[in-house]
Every structure is written in C-alpha cells, then in structure tokens.
A and B are shown apart, each in its own frame.
Chain A
Amino acid sequence: MDLTSVWFWLGTVGMAVGTLVPAKRLVTDRRYARYYAVLASVTAIATVAYLAMALGIGEIEVPGGSLFVPRYVDWLVTTPLLVLYLGMLCRPGKRVYAALVAVDIVVIGSGVVAGFLSAPYSYAAYLVGCVAYLGLLYLLLVTLPAQAADHGNRVVAVFTKLRNLTVVLWTIYPVVWILGPLGFGLLQVETDAMVVAYLDLISKVGFVVMAVNGADALDALRTGSPRAAASGAPARAR
C-alpha cells in the first residue's frame, strides 16, 4: 500500500487550511497587510506544491530515488519568505535582509544539487548546505535578536518563539535528508514523504498560526515602543 500520495494530499489540505488564517486577517486588518501577505503566500505556495506532488507532477528519477521538484521549488520560495517575516519583526538593515535570503537560498539550492548528484558528490553538496545553514543560524540566533530588542517585550516574545520554532524544526530537515532515500536510505520514500509533510505542516502552518496570534506585537513595532528602547533589556539567544 503506497501512502505517499496520501501524505501529499493531507499536506495539501493542511496547507490550505493554514492559508485561511492569515488570509482572513489580510482582509480584515489592512494595517499590516504586508505582514499577512507574506504569511499567506508561504502556505499558499506550499499548498500548490503539495497539490502538484499529490497529482504526481514533477517527480524526477535520480540516483538513489525520486526527487520531487515542487517540494524544492516550494522550499526555495517559502523559506526565504519565512526568514523575511522574522526579519520584518526586527526591522534590521537591508544588508541583513539580503544576507538572510541569500544564505537561505544557498541552503535549499545545495539540497537540490545534492539530490541530483550521486553518492560522493551529493554528500559534498549536502555539507555545503549544512555550512550555509550554520550561517543562517548565526543570523537568526545572534544578529536578529539584537535588533528585536529595540521594539519591546512583546516583539521579543513573538520573535523568539517564531525564531525558536524555525531553528528547531529546520535543523531536523538536514537530518531527514541524510536519513532519507537520497542520503543513507534508512527512510523509504513513503516514510520520507510522511515525515517531510509533517515537518512542513508544523514549520509553515505552525509558524503562520503563531505569527498571526502574536500579531498584536506589530503595534509595538509600528509605534516604535519608546519604553522598550529605554529599558534596553537584551534578549539573549536561548
């Protein structure tokens, strides 16, 4: 019994439901349209990608197994959006934005390359992705929190929660990749699809829902929160 497509369908439904949450806010609360638009597009793109995979579009045979192109396209687009949202909570400089997105694209891109290559070269590409991911972690854990602290406790709380979710869950992706059919092959295609779908749901829908719940922090962001600037409590990386 091949459950792969079942997982893809479940992913599609989950992502679609996850899109409704920010989409509704997008309509009712126009002040933060930009923020909600970013969130909604994350899950919307993921929905399309899962739908494509469920319909069997974009599956490419590569050495060691199948490579789902929509999945990597999804990741290439949505992960920069998620990182962008984290950035928008901190209002860093343009260079930090650029660095975040660039490093993220390197991480996903090396994953794609690793998928297309065979054994020794794929691991090399994988290592490149891991190093780039460490850079991304540095940006998320050290650079951004310093900026978030300028916007008050509520912003720090929301940012820290979303950042922690991202860091914890994204760290699991490389582990899944290396255990999966394209890596050591401990995970079979079907299980791999299940785990990745679950991870995607949590890291995208979970992120979006938490972000919408913490949207009251955006007020503090807009007013600039002089009190928080005065208290100047440094938010340490956990």
Chain B
Amino acid sequence: MSAVNATTENLNEILSGEDIAPTPQASVAAAPTRRTPYFETESGKRLVENTLTLFKNAIPPLLGMLLFVGLWGLISHSVKNIPGPSETWTSAVALFSDPFYNNGPNDQGIGWNILNSLYRVGMGFGAAALVGIPLGFMVGRFDFLNRMLSPIISILRPVSPLAWLPIGLLVLQKAESASIWVIFISSIWPMVLNTAAGVQRIPQDYLNVARVLNLSEFKVFTKILFPAVLPYVLTGVRLSIGVAWLVIVAAEMLTGGVGIGFWVWDEWNNLNVAHIIIAIFIVGIVGLLLEQGLMLLAKRFSYE
C-alpha cells in the first residue's frame, strides 16, 4: 500500500521538474545532463529505506505467526479431534456473524459472553482499585502501617486466586458475587504494592520543595504526591487487569453463568473444539487490548 502511494508521490515530483536539472528543451543545448535515476534521488532513497525497515519490522512477527499456524495445522493433521486453522476460521466467521443472540441463559451469543466476563472483571477490578490504591498510599506514607501489613500481604499475595472461591461462595452465597470476589482479591495486590512503592520512591527534592514552600497537606497531595505516584499506580493497574482477566476464565468455569470461561466449559461438554480454540484467541486478544489501552494511558501520564 504505502509503496504504491510513495511511487505516485515521486512521480508527481518528477513531473513537477524538481529532479530534472534544466527543462528538457534546454538540456539539448546545455551540457548533456543525465536525468537522475529515481532510486538515486533523495525521495527515492527514502522510499527504499522505508520499505526496507517496514519489511525488517514486519518479517519477524509475520514469520512467527506463519510458523504458529503451520505447527497448528501439522498437529491438527496428526491428532484426531483438533480442528485445523481453516476449519477454525470458518467456525469463527459463523460465530461472529451473530454475536448477540439470546436463546436462554445457557445459549447466548459470543458477544454477550465476552461482555458478561468484562462486566465481572470491571466490578471486581474496580472495587480492588477503590480499596487498593488508597491503601497503597497509606502503606507507602506511614511506615508503621507498612510494617503492620507487609506480613499479611506477603502471605496472601501468592495464594492461587481460585482458592478464594469457596470462601466467596460461602459468604456471598451467589456464584456471580463469588467470582467478582475472586477477581477483587487477586487483582488488589499489584495495586497496593505498586502504589506503596511509588509513594516511597518520590524524589526527596519534590518533598523538599513542599517543605520550603510550606505547602498544605492538601496541596502536597494534589500537586506532588498524586502526580508523582500516578505512573506507579498505573503500572499496578495494568498488572492487576492482566491478573483479573487471567482469573475470570477459571472462575467462570467453576461458577457457571454467562461468560467466556463458562462458554469454554460448555463447548467442551458439547465437544466443539473449534469454539474452544476461538475462545483461547478471544481471551488472548481481549487481554492484549486491555493491557495496551492502559499502556497508552500510562504513557500520557509519564513525564520523564
């Protein structure tokens, strides 16, 4: 695409006479001037260079994808019941042509399943942010609190998220709330820890400025603490949303309801392996999008 565009541009340039030293008529009389070959002009060289870098950047990922699809094809040939790439593609096209149908609670379109999962992640993750970020600020600001909570955090953080599910079911009585609870408890730690680390790493210079100016606590928070810690908070948020999305599939497999995790399990019971593979891609792509979106947000708030 871009190569074609660039060529027309350069054609215009050549026609406008920029690359041709004298006009064609004059060149007859003047010393024999050779028209510079296109690939030796500035724009021509640039085109070649751009095309090369484009290829250099695009070739490795393309090659990786190709290798992946190739391996997949090979496996599907030798292992019974595993659908190949083309079969999966046809199935995906059919699936996404009607994403929002609703035939009762156990048979809904893929769109509904994704949205339901995102809703649970949003609730659990939102609650975790509401609790975790202020908690992180306090842990970072007050050493006493830090020393008080760090043993608890150290013990609870490595616990597998699903281990919390029975507690959630027991206390909250409902599958829906229990899976939100699992998201909450598994995604809160990165936010607490990163926010606390950010508060502890505020450069002393900024705090000295606050001291020399005698700023009020409110001003210190809004003008110094909050903006200085924001990039760390966003790192925590990014890690958390990754964890939350990772956990929702497993939680929904156990709790049921409408959601991408339950859908995977349902398709397993139907022995629709193509849909399971599609689900894997969906989970991966949605997770990637969530993380990239937050990366963009984080870039907006980094000042260095």
Tell whether A and B belong to one assembly: no
Residues of B within 8 A of A (CB): none
